[in-house]
């Protein structure tokens, strides 16, 4: 994870800026330049350096080195948003005070705090997007299985009834699968939206297609 997505590192950045406020926050600026490209371990917080994404861990004796396993960040989205808000408030206070007193160091410190808040906000937003994408991906598999059982044609109501989901959830998952290539949707004459899984489509009346059992 990015070095400045961890709260204590952002706090260190703000602290370095405050301590060197008399020098226009040079300490904070230098600290940010040196560490901005570094990566840290989300589990222990140890710095991996500029090329942290290439870090490896050694497996059992005799086993080849492998990439580190994906682990959840110990510093969650809500904490990042809280720190982001706090830094934005701090930046506003410093900007107001620096403007009133025409103090350049305070204005520089306000800029550093605002940058820190922006980095944390972007990290929290990215984490939320990744979590949503992972959830949607996990929900797509049962829909694909159901489509293979239903001859490659599904409606929102069918998915919700078969999988025990709410209609909005079923609609979101089907919409995420609709790429216009492998899966597309069409509106019938009755106004019903049917999602077609082209690679799973079977002609009406063939084994496994809807209504085949009744005709048999």
Residue 208 has pLDDT above 60, yes or no: no
- pLDDT class of 156 with cuts at 50, 70, 90: very high
Mean pLDDT of all residues in 77-90: 75
pLDDT above 50 for 58: no
Top pLDDT among 72 and 160 is at 160
pLDDT value of residue 21: 67
Q: What is the mean pLDDT of the chain?
A: 74
Report the C-alpha gap between 37 and 158 in whole angstroms.
48
Q: Is the pLDDT of residue 149 over 50?
A: yes
Write out pLDDT tens, residues 185-204: 998 888 889 999 998 887 65
pLDDT at residue 194, as a whole number: 92
Q: In terms of pLDDT, which residue wins out, 70 or 103?
A: 103
Q: What is the mean pLDDT of residues 104-129?
A: 81
Cα-based distances in Å from 174 to 4, 16, 23, 127, 184: 37, 50, 57, 23, 9
Q: Token digits for 11?
A: 């706090």
Question: Hey, which bits of the chain come out as E strands?
Answer: 39-40, 47-49, 153-154, 183-187, 193-197
**pLDDT beyond 90 at 125:** no
pLDDT of 48 reads 64
* 17 exposure class (CB count in 10 Å sphere: 0-12, 13-18, 19+): buried
Residue 102 falls in which region: left (phi positive, over 0), alpha (psi -120 to 50) or beta:
left
């Amino acid at each position: 994870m990015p070095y400045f997505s961890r709260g204590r590192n952002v706090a260190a950045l703000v602290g370095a800026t405050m301590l060197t406020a008399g020098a226009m926050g040079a300490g904070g600026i230098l600290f940010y330049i040196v560490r901005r490209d570094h990566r840290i371990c989300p589990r222990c917080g140890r710095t991996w350096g500029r090329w942290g994404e290439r870090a490896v861990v050694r497996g059992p004796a005799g086993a080849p080195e492998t990439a580190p396993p994906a682990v959840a960040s110990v510093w969650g989205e809500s904490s990042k948003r809280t720190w982001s808000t706090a830094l934005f408030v701090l930046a506003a206070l410093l900007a107001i005070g620096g403007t009133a007193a025409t103090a350049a160091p305070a204005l520089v410190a306000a800029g550093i705090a605002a940058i820190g808040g922006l980095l944390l906000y972007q990290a929290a937003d990215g984490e939320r997007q990744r979590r949503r994408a992972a959830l949607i991906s996990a929900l797509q598999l049962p829909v694909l299985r159901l489509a293979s059982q239903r001859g490659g044609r599904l409606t929102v109501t069918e998915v919700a009834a078969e999988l025990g989901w709410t209609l909005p959830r079923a609609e979101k998952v089907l919409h995420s699968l609709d790429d216009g290539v492998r899966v597309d949707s069409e509106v019938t004459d009755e106004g019903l939206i049917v999602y077609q899984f082209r690679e799973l489509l079977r002609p009406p009346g063939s084994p496994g297609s809807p209504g085949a059992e009744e005709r048999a």
